Amino acid sequence: MRQDVRAGEALHEDSIEVNRAMIIGVPKEIKANEYRVALVPAGAEALVQAGHQVVMERGAGEGSGFPDDVYAHAGVRIVESAEDVWAQAEMIVKVKEPIEPEWPLIREGQLLFTYFHFAASEPLTRALMASRSVAVAYETVQLANGELPLLTPMSEVAGRLSILEGAKYLERFYGGRGILLGGVPGVLPAKVVILGGGVVGTHAARMAAGFGARVTILDVSLPRLRYLSDVMPANVSLLYSNRYNIREQIRDCDLLIGGVLLPGKKAPSLVKREDLATMLPGSVIVDVAVDQGGCVETIHPTTHEDPIYVVDGVIHYAVANMPGAVARTSTLALTNATLPYAITLANRGWREACRQDPALRLGINMVEGEIVYPGVAEAFGLPHVEADEVLAR
Interval 158-208: pLDDT, tens: 999 999 999 999 999 999 999 999 999 999 999 999 999 999 999 999 999
Mean local confidence (pLDDT), 34-46: 96
pLDDT the model gives residue 18:
58
Residue 103 CA, chain-centre distance (Å), reads: 20
Q: What 3-state DSSP class applies to 332?
A: helix
Taking the C-alpha atoms of residue 238 and residue 164, their distance in angstroms, rounded to an integer, is 22
Residue 253: pLDDT above 80? Answer: yes
**pTM (two decimals):** 0.86
Taking the C-alpha atoms of residue 249 and residue 138, their distance in angstroms, rounded to an integer, is 33
Taking the C-alpha atoms of residue 5 and residue 336, their distance in angstroms, rounded to an integer, is 10
What domains does the chain contain, in order, with CATH numbers? 2-140+327-391 (3.40.50.720), 154-320 (3.40.50.720)
Which secondary structure element, helix H or strand E, spans residue 236, and what is its range? strand 236-240
Residue 6: pLDDT above 50? Answer: no
Phi/psi of residue 151, nearest 5 degrees: -90, -30
Q: Where in the sequence numbering do the catalytic residues fall?
A: 117, 291
pLDDT the model gives residue 262:
82
Alpha helix locations (H) across the chain?
2-9, 41-49, 68-73, 82-88, 122-131, 152-169, 199-211, 222-231, 243-250, 327-348, 350-356, 358-361, 374-380, 387-391
